[in-house]
Structure 1
Amino acid sequence: MNEIDALEIVQYAIWTVLLASGPAVVVAMLVGVSIALVQALTQVQEITLTFVPKIVSILLAVALSGPFVGAQLSTFTNVIFQRIQNGF
């Protein structure tokens, strides 16, 4: 294995992590921005108000995007195992 192979594996791993974490991060961002907007409009600055909706929405996003995340991780694992089998 040379430097190019290592860089390709690292690049593919980073891309897989971004795709796998994307749904949860996007949902957390959207819920956080919308709660911040509601707090700014109503001038209710309660810190604990953001936790429950964010946690519930992230759990729902993870549950709904589970097959997608699993497919991404499975594809990454298969690619790595094929590269190991072929001797990089």
Structure 2
Amino acid sequence: MAAPIPQAYIDELLSRLDIVEVISARMPLKKQGREFAACCPFHSENTPSFTVSPSKQFYHCFGCGAHGSAIGFLMSFEHLGFVEAVTELAESI
């Protein structure tokens, strides 16, 4: 079994990523003030309730409650495990 990924590595990876770039490469986002919005990819909706905050590097859906970092988004959106999501993001920078 592989050793767990050190928290310092995860923190460094997240600090070097832009969550807006990670998400907008997979779905369209529309700028709304200081944040970005879209219809949530995790539930069916007609009115955008999914927001991405560049300043907080965090996403949140006010409709279904989905939220998290770039790693969590990739895990949910692409159905990846934690290690696979971290690896894919690390290879993208």
TM-score (norm 1): 0.26
Higher relative CO (Cα under 8 Å, sequence separation at least 6) belongs to 1
Higher radius of gyration, 1 or 2: 1
Structure with greater strand share of residues = 2
